[in-house]
Structure formats: structure tokens, C-alpha cells
């Protein structure tokens, strides 16, 4: 799936945009042949926050776009992101579509998109984009093992409301399908409520590891 994403992003490289791939010490090690598909291939400490910050640190463009490896692009999904105004307060995310066919997944994706619009909180699956200067102003992604996307959204909201794009990105529904759709909904909502109530990210991460299988 990663190679599909990289291939889909090649035309952006041809337009002069930079593509950076950051491996968090995957096992087995990331195939080095992927180097041909990116401008930079980096290895960092495991953890999404560390990986995204590492990539952002060497990026040269003014707009940073963070995509997970299991993301799939729809046609011209990124074009509205690049439309003016692209000022120093710009940040936002896309709507999401889950890859599976289960009827309940349609409910999940609609609720995720609706919740994000109402709260101004984006998830990493939604392809968060941030102007470089704003990203630096908020200190990048917080180095925590879970909810780094929620926390950076909180910080970004203090500067500007997100641009919530209706264009969709497709993300893997494996998490819901392997754990059961209803059980995973309950687990994810429980984690979010616990985070809002002040439970620390390390404790949440431990709980998540123990209950996701």
C-alpha cells in the first residue's frame, strides 16, 4: 500500500514539491529501493510524532502535508489544499473515507468528518496540512505516544480555525475490521473521552495496546 501512495504522489514531485518518507524503525527494515520514489528517506525513533517532526525538520516547502503510509489519494485531492490563500495561519485536513465495505464503516467515517468540523480537531488519518511557520510556532507535534494529532489541533486552533476540505482521502479500515467495528468505536471514543478528562498519553497508549487485539 505504501508504494501505491508514493506512486500516486509522483506528479507532485514533478511539479516541484518535495516528498519525504520517514521510517520509524519498521521490522523488517523499510525497503531501500523506495529511495527512488522520494526526495529524502529518513529513519527516526518509532512513533508518529517523532517521525513527522523529523520529516518536517528537513522539509523546504512552506506547506507541510502529513500522510500516513496506509492512505490512498482520490483524484486531485490535494488541489484545494494548495488554493489561495496559503498564508502563515493556514492549517486543515481532508474528509476521510474508510476502505472497507461494511455498512457501519459509512457511519464511522461520516461521524469522524462531522465531529472534526464541529470541534476543529483533526486526526492524522485526515491528512493534516500546516503552514511551516505555524507548525514551528506551535512547536511541531507533541512527543507523546498517542493523541498527538488531537493535541496539535488544540494548539493550532488558538491561532486559526482549520480549513476542513470536503475532498476525501481513503484510509485503511483494518483497525475496525480486525477489532470489530462496534468494539473499535467504543474503544476510540473511550480513549478520546479519557484524554479530555486528563488521562496521560502514556497510560492511554498502554491501555490501547492491551485492548486493540
Confidence tier at 30 by pLDDT (50, 70, 90):
low
Question: Which residues, in sequence order, are CB contacts of 49 under 8 Å at separation 6+?
Answer: 140, 141, 142, 143, 144, 148
* pLDDT, tens digit (0-9, with 9 covering 90-100), for 161-196: 999 999 999 999 998 888 888 898 899 889 989 998
CATH of the domain at 198: 3.90.550.10
* pLDDT, tens digit (0-9, with 9 covering 90-100), for 104-116: 999 999 999 999 9
Q: What is the mean pLDDT of the chain?
A: 90
The candidate with the shortest Cα–Cα distance to 94, out of 166, 25, 44, is: 166
pTM to 2 decimals?
Answer: 0.92
Q: Domain limits at 134?
A: 2-211
Contact 140, 114 (CB under 8 A): no
User: Looking at the 3D structure of the chain, how many domains does it have?
Assistant: 1
Strands 40-43 and 63-65: unpaired
Q: Residue 35: pLDDT above 90?
A: no
| Dist. CA 63–CA 135, nearest whole Å | 9
Amino acid at each position: 500500500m505504501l508504494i501505491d501512495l508514493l506512486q500516486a504522489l509522483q506528479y507532485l514531485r514533478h511539479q516541484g514539491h518535495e516528498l519525504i518518507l520517514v521510517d520509524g524503525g519498521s521490522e523488517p527494515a523499510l525497503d531501500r529501493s523506495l529511495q527512488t520514489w522520494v526526495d529524502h528517506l529518513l529513519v527516526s525513533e518509532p512513533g508518529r510524532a517523532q517521525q513527522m517532526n523529523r520529516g518536517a525538520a528537513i522539509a523546504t516547502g512552506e506547506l507541510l502535508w502529513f500522510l500516513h503510509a496506509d492512505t490512498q489519494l482520490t483524484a486531485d485531492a490535494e488541489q484545494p489544499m494548495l488554493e489561495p490563500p496559503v498564508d502563515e495561519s493556514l492549517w486543515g485536513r481532508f474528509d476521510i473515507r474508510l476502505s472497507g465495505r461494511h455498512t457501519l464503516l459509512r457511519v464511522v467515517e461520516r461521524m469522524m468528518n462531522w465531529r472534526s468540523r464541529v470541534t476543529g480537531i483533526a486526526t492524522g488519518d485526515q491528512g493534516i496540512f500546516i503552514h511551516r511557520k505555524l507548525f514551528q510556532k506551535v512547536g511541531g507535534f507533541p512527543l507523546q505516544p498517542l493523541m498527538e494529532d488531537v493535541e496539535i489541533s488544540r494548539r493550532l486552533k488558538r491561532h486559526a480555525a482549520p480549513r476542513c476540505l470536503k475532498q476525501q482521502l481513503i484510509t485503511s479500515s483494518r483497525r475496525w475490521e480486525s477489532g470489530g467495528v462496534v468494539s473499535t468505536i467504543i474503544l476510540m471514543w473511550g480513549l478520546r473521552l479519557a484524554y479530555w478528562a486528563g488521562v496521560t498519553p502514556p497510560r492511554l497508549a498502554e491501555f490501547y495496546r492491551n485492548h486493540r487485539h
